[in-house]
Chain A
Amino acid sequence: MIKTFFKILSLATQYKYWMILAALMGFLTVGSGIGLMMTSSFIIASAAIQTPIYQLQVAIVGVRFFGISRGVFRYLERYISHEVTFKLLAKFRVWFFKSLEPLIPSKKKDLTSGDLLSRAIEDIESLEHIFVRVISPPFVFVAVAILMFTLLNLFNVKYAVIFLTTFVLSAIGIPTLTYFLSRKLGGQIIKLKSQLKAIAVDSIQGLSELIVYGQIQKWKNIFSEIEDELLRLERKMNLIQSLHEVLTGLAMNITVAIMLYAAIPDVTNKLLNGVYLSVITIGIMASFEIVFQIPLAFQYLTKSVEAAKRLIEITDTDQINNLSHNLNREHQSTAYPQNEIQQIKKYDLKISDLTFSYDGHKKALDKISFEVKEKGKIAIVGASGSGKSTLVNVICKLWNYGDGEILVGDISYNNISAEKVREIISVVPQNVHLFTGTILENLLISNENASEYEINEALKKSELYEYVQSLPEKVNTHIGELGKKLSGGEIKRLGIARAILRNTPIIIFDEVTSHLDSVTEKNILSMIEQISKDKSILFITHRLNQMEMFDEILVMSNGRIIECGNHKELIKQNGNYNKLLLSQNKKMN
């Protein structure tokens, strides 16, 4: 827990001066409150014993000053601490993005799934309170404690010690007490919550089955059973947390009572001027303002640490990946020559005995060998799980391979950086991700320096030009406004236009034709045939249509290439390829 907290803190150190300033303002706000109440009671008490008015002038000015300064300092404190908060938020966002980046694409779980990311974003946003709620109050508390100790010490060290003892005891003791009371509860609540969530997700996804098989009532019963338990614990937690306010108030009153008990004999014995009896009492009451904030700091601390833990967990899921990436990084900084791109003169890929494993045991790629000649057209077919996507990720140098070798223009992948590899290879992915923004912005993502001419050419080649021209704002149309109006085919075409814009010598098409109806599929295939005339093409698919256009077709199964040849040869072989082809053609739609 402490480690996680320091991890967050270390991200925040950059803004330490801002934080100190904000905490100072917080202190001055509470201080002004104390000043206001103490000087006010001083005036009243002094007036009661007919102190001449000129002796009260300073106090009267002081009251007015504190009356205004408290508001001003409060304002400044709010303002500055929000400044800090937003700066931290930016910092946390960038940190998370940077930590996630090397792990993408993940080998173990989908790190870009909506649920995981929205949870992460929520967690990051919950961290924004860490300064205002967690870091600042303890500092203000310490400053107030010192201030009051000094002030009370002016009268009698006894008062100062009594105050400090109860003040510190209530700030530490009360949260500690409730922490121990609720220690187990917190974990149980989180567990029940995630259980409840899992059940809800599971049941809503399987709602049809539950309804058809008459299981709804049973589900409701299970849900409400867990919910009841959760609500009961949450209520218990609420009641324990409400002890904070109750006990802090009580502690303040007890402090006042003890102080009266200690000071009244001094007044009787003329050791303390009676005027100060009310000044001290009321000052103490005002100083407890900050103690009321301390329990909240503890609560937020736990919450922040949990949020941070979850975030760190996400970025730690892929240990192996992480390691290999670190290795990769080292390579980048040391081994790659600056002008590596010049060395690549030929844009062909030679892949020999390529082996890759996720966990070190089961091979996802097993001795894959093939060649993509310059301007060659290769197709890779196979069912899902055969290793096609793994191969794409390795060829794009998103993952590093184990044994074997990939050569681009006779240079080993081990000697060039991932960035350079991606400068010569474009991918049209299975799921084209469109960013919020205009069509133009989405195209420029692949090549920010593209000219208007190039963009229009890319749109023409991907057969989107007319469609885009028909839109009222043309390329400046917002993707979000198009919403679901973009068909699956149009989204794929945008992905292809992006790849064209990059103008790389090698293009990989990863399942571009899946989830498309047969007419659209046919159109897109013919289009790809057109645009790929002067490019090297690697075409990944599980649908066998227009396969005649490829020089070579590799059939993959379980990480191996089990057959290869061109369309006609493979049919003649009457092996797996032919089987796939026949069974596919038995399908309608």
Chain B
Amino acid sequence: MLFNKQLFDLTKSDRNKFYLIILFGLIASVFTIAQAFILSRTINNAFLLHQTLQQVFDLIIIYLSFSIAKAISIWLQNFFSSKVVFIIKKNLREQLINKIKELGPLKLKSERTGEIVNTLLNGVDKLEDYFSKFLPQIFLAAFIPILILLFVLPRDLLSAIIFIVTAPIIPTFMFLIGSISEKLNQKQWVTLSRMSAYFFDVLQGLPTLKLFNRTKETIKRIDNITNIFRIKTLKVLRVAFLSALVLEVASTISVAVIAVSIGLRLLNGDFNFTDALFILIIAPDFYLPLRQLGVSYHAGMEGISSFERISELMKNESSETMNSNQTKKIIEYDSPIVFENVSFTYEERNIKALDSISLVIEPKKVIALVGQTGSGKTTLMNMLLRFINPAQGMIKFGNQNLFEINEDEWRKNIAWIPQSPHLFNKTILENIKLSNDDATIQGIIEAASKSKIHKLISSLPKQYDTLVSEAGDNFSGGEIQRIALARAYLRNAPIILVDEPTANLDPIIEEEIMNDMFDLFKGKTVLIIAHRLNTIIKADKIIVMKNGRVDAIGNHSELLEKSLYYKNLFEQIDMDK
């Protein structure tokens, strides 16, 4: 149940080091046994044989040497377990990062950034104790008692029998009570997470609660709910702690029984004191590994549940873009992009996002994509960005199949301005340079000047070396757009893909930015998802999309005559006036 095969397999690459952890754990307990042996001998010699300090001095020194040897073994055990943890964490994170890249932005959208980062960092961290404590302990809990038994058996059969009889009681009870309380525990986890969720909820809703004058009641409720939770949980724990009781009592009672039985036999004279003391000293160590297993049980649970979250992320199927035959280079630049009967359906959705689309994007023309939300504009754009592949149909770039061209090779031809560009927490310089590793400072300044953002950047104390986070709130939406513009310009690519911003920008500023963009990319192929009349009118060609299909293609005046749908979109604007 707690020995998870998948998790154990993670140690595969370093199985030897993992075995070393167990080996040094065993060596440490060999020294523990040796210590008990020496200690009982020393006391026996001084007590019954009336030896002086000089006579037992060597024994004390041996005792100390064994102590040091034991300490070193334990340290080596930790040395290798930290090594194994190091490697496992590194490998897992690398796998996760590769997965994140494979999944790409579209598939990841469904998961929240915070959750992914949490899995990548904290989730992996939580496996640490599983590998360094819990997993080796499973082996040690099996081997060490046997080892000790081997030394007790020749000295006293009765004590060995007591050990053999009581030892299974511990794991059995642990399992019995554990499985009962695990069920209860799981229920409890649900309540606990609900509890946290409730607390999170009220904290996040604090503005609302405050506006409704409800904060005082809420405080009472938090108190109440936590108390109910406490009472419920303790009810469960009352049972769960029984396992602790049994563990404790099983080991203490057997120590007591062994002490009394050996004592009685000593009285009869058919036992020697050294062996008696040895067994008494070693008895707690017999049970120790089992108890430690109980202690690291929680770490084990946590590791497994954390690993489940990791596996969930890893299970996501990556898009099929990892084609092996996408090796080709671009032969002809300045070719038209031709969509031939392209269809696409998103996973877990029934409706086609694109339905037999055929269209041509001529080189060096401005082409506007128009349509309502869900009409397929963004899907089409995502295909050109190579985030998704068509399910049916083909996209050609000149005579080449677009999807046979190497992904990175293709993207080198593209500059992209998304709806809300992301500025990285780096300097402004690095943020612009993102699109072109070879850009010179002059080139970057030129790009910024042409995007009309150079002035603002120059006015900052650290100019281009200003960290974006430092500038933080000082960047308005319009300024971020302009930095993205500079980024796109610096790319110096023949094809520009633009998703015109819609939300919360000052409309007047927005218009200026779009005008500047058209000036900047004259003579290039520009495909733009357009929302504004001004932008649409400027296009050489307008593609009207509706429910995943091309409704009509043409210029503005043609479309007004040709497409009823386009006309309707228009009249809607008129009505608003």
Contacts and interface: CB of A to CB of B under 8 A. Distances in A.
B200 A207 contact: no
B287 interface: no
B244 interface: yes
Nearest to B46: A264
Interface string A391-424: 0000010100000000000000000000100110
A445 B237 contact: no
Given A66-B252, A74-B245, A207-B104, A104 B210 contact: yes
A100 B218 CA distance: 13
B411 A278 contact: no
Interface string A38-60: 01110111111111010010001
Contact of B196 (A112, A125, A197): A125
Contacts, number: 398
Given A235-B83, A254-B67, A398-B210, A268 B52 contact: yes
B47 A112 contact: no
B534 A239 contact: no
A207 B100 contact: yes
A245 B70 CA distance: 11
B88 to A, nearest CB: 10
A101 B85 CA distance: 42
B280 A90 contact: no
A478 interface: no
Interface string A566-582: 00000000000001110
A86 B226 contact: yes
Interface in B72-121: 74-75, 78-79, 82-83, 85-86, 89-90, 93-94, 97, 100-101, 104-105, 108, 112-114, 116-117, 120-121
Nearest to A103: B206
A562 interface: no
Nearest to A96: B203
A349 B155 CA distance: 95
A502 B208 CA distance: 13
Contact of A212 (B75, B229, B411, B507): B411
B445 to A, nearest CB: 19
Interface in A46-99: 46-51, 53, 56, 60, 63-64, 66-68, 70-72, 74-75, 78-79, 82-83, 86-87, 89-90, 93-94, 96-98
Interface in A212-266: 212-216, 220, 223-224, 227-228, 231-232, 234-235, 238-239, 242-243, 245-247, 249-250, 253-254, 256-257, 260-261, 264-265
A317 interface: no
Interface in A538-560: 542, 545
Interface residues of B, number: 146
B113 A205 contact: yes
Given A86-B230, A207-B108, A517 B418 contact: no
B205 interface: yes
Interface of A is mostly: helix
B53 A265 contact: yes
A451 to B, nearest CB: 18
B454 interface: no
A121 B118 CA distance: 14
A196 B435 CA distance: 23
A278 B237 contact: no
Contact of B117 (A98, A197, A232, A433): A197
Contact of B262 (A44, A197, A228, A247): A44
Nearest to B220: A94
B330 interface: no
A282 B214 CA distance: 61
Interface in B467-487: 476-477
B222 A71 contact: no
Contact of A277 (B43, B424, B530): B43
A422 B212 contact: yes
A187 to B, nearest CB: 18
A200 B63 CA distance: 52
B165 interface: no
B208 A90 contact: no
Interface string B182-218: 0000000000000011111111111111111111011
B421 A100 contact: no
A56 B212 CA distance: 74
User: Which of B120, B198, B267 counts the most A-chain CB atoms under 10 A from its CB?
Assistant: B267
B476 A67 contact: no
Contacts of B233: 82, 86
Contact of A44 (B90, B199, B277, B532): B277
Interface string B404-422: 0000100110101010011
Nearest to A383: B506
B260 A264 contact: no
16 contacts: A43-B259, A48-B47, A71-B246, A78-B244, A86-B230, A90-B227, A197-B121, A209-B421, A224-B94, A231-B89, A239-B75, A249-B70, A250-B68, A384-B504, A422-B212, A585-B573
Closest 8 CB pairs of A and B: A40-B259, A206-B422, A90-B226, A583-B507, A67-B256, A71-B249, A253-B67, A242-B78
Interface of B: 35, 39, 42-43, 46-48, 50-53, 56, 60, 63-64, 67-68, 70-71, 74-75, 78-79, 82-83, 85-86, 89-90, 93-94, 97, 100-101, 104-105, 108, 112-114, 116-117, 120-121, 132, 196-215, 217-219, 222-223, 226-227, 229-230, 233-234, 237-238, 241-242, 244-246, 248-249, 252-253, 255-260, 262-264, 266-267, 269, 273, 276-277, 280-281, 284, 370, 372-373, 385, 387, 408, 411-412, 414, 416, 418, 421-425, 434-435, 476-477, 491, 502-508, 510-511, 530-534, 536, 569, 572-573, 576-577
